[in-house]
Amino acid sequence: MLRNYLKIAFRTLWRSKGYTAINVVGLSVAFCVCTFLFLMVYRQLTFDSFHRDGERIFQTYRFSNYPDKPKRTAGMPMPFTPALKTEFPEIEAAARLLSSGSLIEYKGRLFEKALRYTDADFLTVFSFPMIRGDRAVALRDLSSIVLSETTAKAIFGTENPIGKTLLLGTEGNQQRYNVTGIMADAPDNSSIDFDVLIRIENSPTYKESKDQWDAFSHPVFLKLAPGVDQTSLENRLKTFTQKYFTSDIDGLKKKGAKPDERGDLYAIRLQKLANVHFDTDIAGSGAPVAIVYALSGIGIFILLIACINFINLSIARSFTRAREVGVRKSLGALKKQLFMQIWGESTLICFVGFLVGSLLAYLLVPVFNAQFNAKINLIYLLKPGVIVGILAMFILVTLVAGGYPSWQMAKFNTVEVLKGKVAIKRPGFLRNSLIVTQFTISCLLTCCTIFAIQQVNFLRTMPLGFEKEQVISIPVGNKYNGRQLLQRLRNKLANDPTILAISGSGVNLGRGKDGSVSRSTMGFTYKEKEISTDWLLVDYDYLKTLNIKLLAGREFSPAYPSDSLDRVIITESMAKMIGEKDPVGQFFQTDSAGTKYQIIGLIPDYHLYSLQNEKAPITMHLSNTESISYIFVRVTPQSLNSSMDKLKGIWSEIAPGADFIASFLDKNIDALYRNEESISRVFSFASGIAILLSCLGLFAVALMVIEQRTKEIGVRKVLGASIPGIVLLLSQDFVKLVLIALAIASPLAWFFMQKWLDSYSYRITISLWVFVGVGASAILIALATVSFHSIKAALMNPVKSLRSE
């Protein structure tokens, strides 16, 4: 019986090659795209899921209910963790995590690695596999060091690293550490990565900050004891917060802040480790969970469009297969047998589409990763949960797309079919609803794509308050002293006419090739006002290099030695925050026993970081002791191409062995918006696929519908109907459906994009013309799709069409 079913199915599908090809192409493309999108979603949703007892691991954050809006930040003061562990025995383990770069020396060879200062509890909180060494004692001593597997192989090769001694730090400031453990590399879906782990007490700033409750420098991760509830611990932390963060609470009260719905003005709260990756306020990176769900929705939409095509074509073909069903019934075929036969054909088409889609996904995954920076791996498909999901998706598609049309055809009345009286009401509510759904999804994705692209372009072209063009940014790294390299570079380029200015800073502008984005803030009280400002280390000619104009006062100058001790330049918003209309000459202190700084210059506000946030107050200072991390070089427009090669050659002279990973500043700024750009590319890709599949289905449905109206067209032509009139008649029903789809999609697109744009301090205004343009394009595409068959039918000889009927 099964063999007979298969034989008939293959014969039927072979006779309808066009129908089969359209369905196979549509389903294979949909399966391929869905595989990519769902794997992206799977990777995001499984971030940090590999740790044992992950449900008991949390990151702490500070909640401040400012009068304008709440603020959540992850930075914690150095004494926070020891106090927390002492006062809350229900905390099983707690680890601080302070990031830095480090130079490692072994047998005269130097290695630059990502260093994480942490506590011994790091190995208790997190369960990265320990390859060598004892987890219980690996970070017990201050001289202990734990390496990642890749770092250990790079340094020691095939040697056993346990017990070996490494030197960390720059020349003249090195410390010895004994290797006590080797851990497996952090997987790709980990929010925490590392090359090297040492105790946080070894950090350069630890001694001065170990008792400071107002210096927020690092995240803290907790592991709660079994049975401890997150909410109950957060409630107990209220007393702890009032005890240690009194000045922060008082500062909020002076600003007029009110408690939130939980009664908190200022609070220490917990975020589950599984959610940290999606919390951009706390993590500072990662994908918002709304985007992850949007990708899931897009995948479902595309699969739905392919299923709609399948259903529509199957229903349309029921006219041509009605007599076949009637004959089979008259010969004794049962309804169940007819259903299995027709549904089996649908299953076969779905299976072929699934295989072709899987093959496309396998072949195109490198291209997809390169284009969208997706970092997906087909190995995820072997996960038991993913396999179950794929099988469920395949069964659902075959049941929905193939089952309903099969059931409808199996219900045909034998007598009426053989008499030729079977007809499906035209235009068909179900068919029209499905076509409207298709084009609603397509128009929705297209509108969202356009708005996302507009927002990215808006961020890239918005004035930043400085000139980003013609400036080269050079990360210094850890091998050499940045201040010394800056001076050497100045000496080498002093007489070069193509070099307009050279300066340095502790913070890069944008995201350079080193991938690092750092920030230093300072909080203090000034005339009973709580002040928070970006504390920016710069060098001479910083304003000149970035072409930032002075509004008042002067720039830093070597002619004034005190500039490197206690002089600062501030932005307009900083002047407004301290309440000084003419701030030049005013003094302030960051703490009662600290340095008394004098303001010597005032500059306009500019964007030091991403445009996703508003301009923050900035205070610039010089220092003879703090290290310069980035060197900026402004070049002439005519020397853009040659300057990079010139700097690379000079760099090899002044910093032999150090990597030269310079980049142009405008490229760095663009890199800040990679997430937005990736989102817009994904939406563009998805909307293109959705439109393609919708048009493919519309093309096939129009063919079926026009075939069914062949006699009507012949009669109309005999009665004098013109070719344009017939084309308009055949096309207008489909155009109406597209207009309905646009009417549904437009408000949905407006709502969703308003929600997305609300997360930006600087954003575009949603334009009505986008909806008009998308609507006009959709109508033209639909007309072009349908008109091919309409014109062909209108040109047909009416005698031939009537005779064939």
Q: What is the pLDDT of residue 358?
A: 85
- Residue 541 to residues 7, 562, 633, 739, Cα–Cα distance (Å): 82, 16, 10, 59
pLDDT tens digits, one per residue of 592-613: 666 788 999 999 999 888 777 7
pLDDT tens digits, one per residue of 490-522: 998 888 889 999 999 988 888 888 777 777 777
Q: What is the pLDDT of residue 324?
A: 61
Neighbour count for residue 190 (Cβ, 10 Å) = 17
pLDDT tens digits, one per residue of 325-372: 665 656 566 666 666 666 777 777 888 888 888 889 888 888 888 887
What percentage of the chain reaches a pLDDT higher than 70? 85
The answer to whether 669 and 460 have CB atoms below 8 angstroms apart is yes
Q: What is the pLDDT of residue 427?
A: 44
The tally of CA atoms less than 13 A away on the side-chain side of residue 675 is 14
Q: Render the burial of 565-576: b for 16+ CB within 10 Å, e for the rest.
A: ebbbbbbbebbe
Q: Among 383-392, 589-598, 769-778, which range has the highest average pLDDT? A: 769-778
Q: What is the pLDDT of residue 3?
A: 62
Q: What is the pLDDT of residue 335?
A: 62
Q: Judge whether 465 lies within some domain.
A: no
**Dihedral, 434, 436, 441, 443 alpha carbons, nearest 10:** 160
Judge if 526 and 623 occupy the same domain. Answer: yes
Judge if 444 and 573 occupy the same domain. Answer: no
Which range among 183-192, 259-268, 547-556, 758-767 shows the weakest confidence by mean pLDDT?
758-767
DSSP-assigned states of every residue in 186-224: PPTT-S---SEEEEGGGSTTHHHHTT-SS---B-EEEEE
For residues 630 and 531, give the distance between their C-alpha atoms in angstroms, rounded to a whole number: 27
Structure tokens at 607: 């964007």
The angle, 0 to 180 degrees and rounded to 10, between the axes of the packed helices 2-15 and 17-45 is 110
Give the domain range for residue 567. 471-671
Q: Judge whether 463 lies within some domain.
A: no
How many structural domains does the chain have? 3
Banded model confidence at residue 253, pLDDT cuts 50, 70, 90: confident
Q: What is the pLDDT of residue 573?
A: 92
Q: Judge whether 786 lies within some domain.
A: yes
Judge if 58 and 20 occupy the same domain. Answer: no
> Amino acid letter at 786?
V
| Residue 228 confidence (pLDDT) above 70 | yes
> Which of 276, 296, 331 is the endpoint of a domain?
276
Show the CA angle centred on residue 776, arms to residues 773 and 779, nearest 5°.
Answer: 150
| Residue 16 confidence (pLDDT) above 70 | no
Judge if 387 and 515 occupy the same domain. Answer: no
Q: What is the pLDDT of residue 315?
A: 66
For residues 726 and 704, give the distance between their C-alpha atoms in angstroms, rounded to a whole number: 16
For tokens 């410390």, what's the residue? 175
Judge if 63 and 211 occupy the same domain. Answer: yes
Q: What is the pLDDT of residue 217?
A: 79
Judge if 423 and 486 occupy the same domain. Answer: no
Q: What residues contact residue 724 under an 8 Å CB cut-off, 6+ apart?
A: none
For residues 461 and 673, give the distance between their C-alpha atoms in angstroms, rounded to a whole number: 12
The chain-wide mean pLDDT, for the chain, equals 82
For residues 158 and 682, give the distance between their C-alpha atoms in angstroms, rounded to a whole number: 43
Q: What is the pLDDT of residue 108?
A: 82
Judge if 187 and 255 occupy the same domain. Answer: yes
Q: What is the pLDDT of residue 794?
A: 67
The answer to whether 554 and 567 have CB atoms below 8 angstroms apart is no
Long-range contacts of 254-258 (CB under 8 A, 24+ apart): 254/528, 254/529, 254/530, 255/66, 255/67, 255/530, 256/67, 257/64, 257/65, 257/66, 257/67, 258/65, 258/67
Write the burial class of residue 390 (CB in 10 Å: 0-12 exposed, 13-18 middle, 19+ buried).
Answer: middle
Judge if 719 and 785 occupy the same domain. Answer: yes
More confident residue, 109 or 548: 548
Write the burial class of residue 768 (CB in 10 Å: 0-12 exposed, 13-18 middle, 19+ buried).
Answer: exposed
| Residue 656 confidence (pLDDT) above 90 | no
More confident residue, 722 or 617: 617
Q: Judge whether 466 lies within some domain.
A: no
| Residue 784 confidence (pLDDT) above 60 | yes
pLDDT tens digits, one per residue of 713-755: 777 777 777 777 777 777 787 888 888 988 999 999 999 888 8
Write the burial class of residue 527 (CB in 10 Å: 0-12 exposed, 13-18 middle, 19+ buried).
Answer: exposed
Banded model confidence at residue 122, pLDDT cuts 50, 70, 90: very high
Q: Judge whether 304 lies within some domain.
A: yes
Judge if 501 and 376 occupy the same domain. Answer: no
Q: Judge whether 138 lies within some domain.
A: yes
| Residue 785 confidence (pLDDT) above 80 | no
Instruction: Specify the length of the chain in residues.
Output: 805
pLDDT tens digits, one per residue of 681-723: 877 888 888 888 877 777 767 766 776 677 777 777 777 777 7
Q: What is the pLDDT of residue 425?
A: 47
Judge if 71 and 218 occupy the same domain. Answer: yes
What mean pLDDT do residues 776-789 have? 80
Q: Judge whether 135 lies within some domain.
A: yes
Q: What are phi and psi of 221, to 5 degrees?
A: -120, 135
Judge if 76 and 113 occupy the same domain. Answer: yes
| Residue 621 confidence (pLDDT) above 70 | yes
Q: What is the pLDDT of residue 46?
A: 84
Q: What residues contact residue 674 under an 8 Å CB cut-off, 6+ apart?
A: 373, 511
Banded model confidence at residue 4, pLDDT cuts 50, 70, 90: low
Q: Judge whether 47 lies within some domain.
A: no
> Which of 253, 276, 299 is the endpoint of a domain?
276
Q: What residues contact residue 293 under an 8 Å CB cut-off, 6+ apart?
A: none
Judge if 77 and 108 occupy the same domain. Answer: yes
The answer to whether 787 and 731 have CB atoms below 8 angstroms apart is yes
For residues 304 and 27, give the distance between their C-alpha atoms in angstroms, rounded to a whole number: 10
> Which of 223, 250, 276 is the endpoint of a domain?
276
Banded model confidence at residue 199, pLDDT cuts 50, 70, 90: very high
Which range among 88-102, 413-427, 627-641 shows the weakest confidence by mean pLDDT?
413-427
Banded model confidence at residue 11, pLDDT cuts 50, 70, 90: low
pLDDT tens digits, one per residue of 28-77: 888 888 888 888 888 888 888 889 888 999 999 999 888 878 888 888 88
Query: Containing H/E element for 17?
Result: helix 17-45
